[in-house]
Structure 1
Amino acid sequence: MPRHRFTQSDVAAMAGVSQSTVSFVLNDNLPPGVRISDETRSRVLEAIRITGYAANPIAQRLAGGRNQILGVFTYETTFPRGGHDFYGAFLVGIEHAAEKLGVDMLLFTSARVVDGRRRLSRDGWQRLGAADGCLLLGQQEDRGELEHLLDTSYPFVFIGKRESEGRRLPYVGADYVAATRRQVERLADLGHTRIGYAGQQSADQPTLDRLEGYRRAMRTRGLPLRYVDVHDIAAGAEEIAERRLTAMLVAPEIDSDALADALEAHGMSVPNSISLLLLGQPNQLQHRSRRAWSGFVVPREEMGARALVLLSRIVDQESAETRAPEGRMPNPPILDEADFHQMLDCPDLDGETLAVAPTTATTPEGTIRDNA
């Protein structure tokens, strides 16, 4: 876990130069009569690259103390814009926690989003130095960048479960595995045996956890797995009808209203013919749904708030360890493993799209008895 942030002294020692030389290279401003060879400059720049050192002018003015600024970096354009407000709730939670903690928030937005992804590479590393630590948010993170932050001991917390070698990466996540298992159990308890999963099978952590929850619960109940490709909503609805499924778990990247409309176009009413459970809020809310959906919700505001509190505690611990005399315990108390990896429950939604399993399943050809 984060312990020590590299300083100019560390860079100077690695490059075999004085700290003033490092400062001259960083500022690219030599006093009269001072010369730095290309070879020396290259050694300093290589040491900066290896350590990930970022000059922090605010912290320098405070003589090494905290500047009470924490950052937020998003890997996608994630905050409210019109109806696309899934990520906005995280920011609301962060803001409330920041107000209680008495810290300022700095939103890092200078890196352009290219092909849906933003990177910390190049100038991003230097900009992070303006904050004591940073919250990271988004589905399309760069794993190499996260490992680099860990290696350089820069304090950060990811909003969302993320795995790393040696479980070093601190996060506050939503327990998608348990929440998805509960949805299967809700359906099975109501007599459903033909339960499908509609969603992508990509490698991002939330998707992997939802799929794991579905697989575990279905195997526990002795039910076969049924995945449905819904890249094309109309074709997906037709497949669901042809396979006589009576219930679907719908991942948040799917337009759930469009899927329900397509199913009803095939004569399958929701929830009388087919139950639909949402596995969290849709990623992009284009409009207010006319349905009261069943499923579970992601505690986004709480995740944002808890992540900021954890980040603040990590920074406090790092600062205390830096100031504590050798041989004495730092204050505040050292964080334990559970603090660094927090998983929050996802509350169930009752809604109106869940019903007892029908005794028959409706298909385009007519009514066929469910013989699952």
Structure 2
Amino acid sequence: MRISGSGRSARRRVSQADIARQAGVTQAAVSMILRDRADSIPEATRQRVLTIARDLGYRADPLARRLANGRSQIIGVFTYEKVFPVAQRTFYHRFLLGIEEAAEAHDQDLLLFTSAAGRRTGRSGEVRTIYAGGENKLRLADAAVLLGRDDIPAELEQLCAEGYPFVFIGRRFLTDGREVPNVAPDYAAATRALARRFAALGHRRIAYLGADRTLPASVDRLAAIATSGLDVHLHFAPVTEIDGTLLHRLLDTGVTGLMLENSEYAERVDGLAAQMEAGRDSRLSVAVAGLTEEDSTPWSGFTVPGRRIGHLALEDLLARLEGAPPGCRLVPCPAAPGRTLTAVPPGHS
């Protein structure tokens, strides 16, 4: 006995060639009619082709239609470390929201790369790799937005050598010092402005608390602080290691203000200050050098415009696909007045 396949359910997809044969026209004519570009074809012929296509159950192959234009109209989003699920207040939330909104506005689909982490270890634990298995998996998309605290410089080198269009959210550099295409917050300008606000309120000695001095964002902040004229104590440690002993020591050295890397540090300091011994003037003026757009006041400082950066990253990629040269863009960070950056009390030096 010979067993056949699954019958009609397994029949092959109806092609444009099938329609052309039944309609007695060329396949090129069918293609033009189905793409609504048949201005030179008689209306009777157009209607006959459309009727046959409908009767045969023709369904266009969306990928083939896109690739006919030389592109998939898919933009990749690759993160070096896990950022999903994304809570409302996480640092990545607004970047991703901006990317999504811009993709919709430009009729692009997004492809999220979330493969298992590689064997490399970064600041945030295991990090993903673009070249898992030796191949650039981003090539499934026309271009890609890259995010993450960690990166693999050798992979960025290879992407540049291949000419694959990408943009990093945040400043990143190759081993020879060249900056890769990116859209980044202008941390340097915003930090200079914040330092001037400290100085205008009478602060002369402040402390900067953050997690990692080697991050490009930290490098930009520290370069700006170094030229501020303020006496700055630098302290880098995980937020969980910031304690009351440190705050007392800073007060004892004459520190009157704190510039903090993000609102996590601000919330930590706020909780510790409330626990400090009664009767002692332990007030510290606080400003945050990197609020997210979801951080509520009262924090003073400046805000990272993540949503706008996400928009610009995707738009820069699309311009690159149209022939624009790769480039780098710094986005201004709006000041947040808040209520935590205050004048030095009388009697403090």
* TM-score scaled by length of structure 2: 0.72
Partner residue in 1 for 2:36: none
Instruction: Give per-residue Cα distances to partners, 1:250-272, cap 9 Å, x unaligned.
Output: 01285321212212322599x99
Partner residue in 2 for 1:225: 232
Which SS does the other structure have where 1:70 is aligned?
Answer: strand
Of the candidates 96, 109, 124, which is equivalent to residue 104 of structure 1?
Answer: 109
Report the CA distance between 1:78 and its aligned residue.
1.7
1:67 and 2:72 are equivalent in the alignment: yes
Which SS does the other structure have where 1:167 is aligned?
Answer: coil
Partner residue in 1 for 2:162: 152
AA aligned to 1:257 is E
Unmatched 5+ residue regions in structure 2?
1-62, 120-124
Cα 1:349–1:113, aligned 2, differ >3 Å: closer, same or farther? farther
Q: Using CA pairs below 8 Å that are at least 6 residues apart, which structure has the higher relative contact order?
A: 1
Which SS does the other structure have where 2:117 is aligned?
Answer: coil
- The CA RMSD over aligned residues, in Å, is 2.9
Report the CA distance between 1:86 and its aligned residue.
1.7
Superposition pairs of residues 131-150 of structure 1, within 5 angstroms = 131-150=141-160
Which deviates more, 341-350 or 165-174?
A: 165-174
Does the aligned pair in 1 maintain the 2:251–2:282 contact within 8 Å? no
Of the candidates 312, 336, 345, which is equivalent to residue 306 of structure 1?
Answer: 312
Cα 1:230–1:204, aligned 2, differ >3 Å: closer, same or farther? closer
**How far, CA to CA, are the matches of 2:307 and 2:181 in structure 1?**
18
Instruction: Give per-residue Cα distances to partners, 1:322-371, cap 9 Å, x unaligned.
Output: xxxxxxxxxxxx44xxx7111000000011101111124xxxxxxxxx34
Which SS does the other structure have where 1:148 is aligned?
Answer: helix
Partner residue in 1 for 2:341: 354
Partner residue in 2 for 1:163: 173
Superposition pairs of residues 1-372 of structure 1, within 5 angstroms = 62=67, 65-82=70-87, 85-112=90-117, 115-123=125-133, 125-164=135-174, 165=176, 167=178, 169-217=180-228, 221=229, 223-231=230-238, 232-234=241-243, 235-252=245-262, 254-266=264-276, 273-281=283-291, 292-317=298-323, 334-335=324-325, 340-360=327-347, 370-371=348-349
Cα 1:186–1:99, aligned 2, differ >3 Å: closer, same or farther? same
Work out the percentage of aligned pairs sharing the same amino acid: 35
AA aligned to 2:285 is S
Aligned structure 1 segments of 4 or more residues deviating by more than 6 angstroms: none
Q: Which has the larger radius of gyration?
A: 2
Does the aligned pair in 1 maintain the 2:263–2:290 contact within 8 Å? no
Report the CA distance between 1:201 and its aligned residue.
4.1
**How far, CA to CA, are the matches of 1:61 and 1:101 in structure 2?**
14
AA aligned to 1:102 is D
Aligned length: 277
**How far, CA to CA, are the matches of 1:244 and 1:168 in structure 2?**
39
